[in-house]
Amino acid sequence: MKKRIVHLSDLHVSGPDFVRELGENVIREVNSISPEIVIITGDLTNDGYPHEYEMAKRYIDMIECKSKLIVPGNHDARNVGYENFEETFGTRFPVLKQEDLIIVGIDSSEPDLDDGHIGRANYEFLRRHFSEEEKLEILALHHHLIPIPGTGRERNIPVDAGDVLKLLVDLKVEIVLSGHKHIPWKWRLEDTYFITAGTATTTRVKGKSVQSFNLIEIEDRRIEIIRISSKDGKRQSLFRIER
Residue 108: how many other CB atoms lie within 10 Å: 32
- Which pLDDT score, from 0 to 100, does residue 38 have? 98
Q: What is the pLDDT of residues 140-159, one digit of tens each?
A: 999 999 999 988 888 889 99
| Res 94 pLDDT > 90 | yes
Which contiguous run of DSSP H or E holds residue 168? helix 161-171
Whole-angstrom distance, CA of residue 84 vs CA of residue 127: 28
Query: Residue 199: which residues within 8 A CB-CB, separation 6 or more?
Result: 9, 10, 11, 12, 179, 182, 205, 211
- Which pLDDT score, from 0 to 100, does residue 151 have? 87
Q: What percent of the chain has pLDDT over 70?
A: 100
Average the pLDDT over 160-175 and give the result. 96
- Which pLDDT score, from 0 to 100, does residue 83 have? 97
Q: How confident is the model at residue 1 (pLDDT cuts 50, 70, 90)?
A: confident
Taken in order of first residue, the domains within the chain and their CATH numbers are 2-242 (3.60.21.10)
Kindly report the average pLDDT of the chain as a whole number. 95
Which contiguous run of DSSP H or E holds residue 196? strand 192-196
- Which pLDDT score, from 0 to 100, does residue 213 have? 98
Backbone angles phi, psi at 89, to 5 degrees: -115, -5
Query: Residue 74: which residues within 8 A CB-CB, separation 6 or more?
Result: 42, 43, 109, 110, 113, 114, 115, 116, 142, 143, 156, 180
Q: What is the pLDDT of residues 200-241, one digit of tens each?
A: 999 999 888 899 999 999 998 899 999 999 999 999 999 898
| Phi and psi based region of residue 87 (left: phi greater than 0; alpha: psi -120 to 50; beta: remaining) | alpha
Average the pLDDT over 51-79 and give the result. 98
- Which pLDDT score, from 0 to 100, does residue 214 have? 98
User: Global pTM?
Assistant: 0.96
